[in-house]
Chain A
Amino acid sequence: DAKTTQPTSMDCAEGRAANLPCNHSTISGNEYVYWYRQIHSQGPQYIIHGLKNNETNEMASLIITEDRKSSTLILPHATLRDTAVYYCIVNQLPGSNYKLTFGKGTLLTVNP
């Protein structure tokens, strides 16, 4: 699986958009970009995934660059409950061996 690089930590004001970057320059054509988050003392939670098109769901938006070497997770209106470690993961198509390879992620702190 391709390796990802994320900032160690970021801050965001409550109510503002949180933009979390991820670099995955060695991503291959059949690999997807997944985002999970882990709130303190809980298991990871799936947020969103995408291949090459931008994706949006009720939790977040995922913007993938045209060359697919980087992506940004956007939480449009961050709340205090969004404080968590966010993991960007590159993985192959679901249905194959789908084990997740987590890095250290980005600790997002949402401030009041």
Chain B
Amino acid sequence: DTGVSQNPRHKITKRGQNVTFRCDPISEHNRLYWYRQTLGQGPEFLTYFQNEAQLEKSRLLSDRFSAERPKGSFSTLEIQRTEQGDSAMYLCASSLVPQWGTEQYFGPGTRLTVT
């Protein structure tokens, strides 16, 4: 257990439905990242927050995706009008910057299956 929690752990939804995932980082960590991982691939960066500010979004993050981190604590990732191609593991990570040698601590992920 890294101290980063994600809920739910598994989500099955029908195409066209909206889903929301939650990430609770390590409490003192100011940076929070979202990644997506499909079968057989390494995780791919989606977006990151420094405190409550969303500082970068990947081109992978289409208009159907939105992420928030109100008050710089937990974060949510919402996918609207889900598509089968959205099926993946969604990983959250947190870190404390600026700190020399700071690594990212990953949560266990939320596995999304779109039917």
Interface residue ranges, A against B (CB under 8 Å) = 34, 42-46, 49, 85, 87, 94-95, 97-105
Contact = CB atoms under 8 A, between A and B. Distances in A.
A34 B104 CA distance: 11
Given A49-B101, A94-B100, A98-B97, A105 B42 contact: yes
B45 A95 contact: no
B38 to A, nearest CB: 11
Interface of B: 2, 4, 31, 33, 35, 40-45, 48, 55-56, 91, 93, 95, 97-109
Contacts of B33: 99-100
A98 B41 CA distance: 20
Contacts of A45: 2, 106
B104 A46 contact: yes
DSSP majority for the A interface? loop
Contacts of A102: 42-44
B111 to A, nearest CB: 9
Given A44-B106, A98-B31, A103-B42, 11 more contacts: A34-B103, A43-B2, A43-B4, A43-B106, A49-B103, A94-B102, A98-B97, A98-B104, A99-B56, A100-B35, A102-B43
A85 B105 CA distance: 17
B2 A99 contact: no
B7 to A, nearest CB: 14
Contacts of B103: 34, 46, 49
A87 B101 contact: no
Contact of B101 (A43, A44, A94, A99): A94
26 contacts: A42-B108, A42-B109, A43-B2, A43-B93, A43-B106, A43-B107, A43-B109, A44-B91, A44-B93, A45-B106, A46-B105, A85-B42, A94-B99, A94-B102, A95-B102, A97-B55, A97-B56, A99-B45, A100-B33, A100-B35, A100-B45, A100-B104, A101-B45, A102-B42, A102-B43, A104-B40
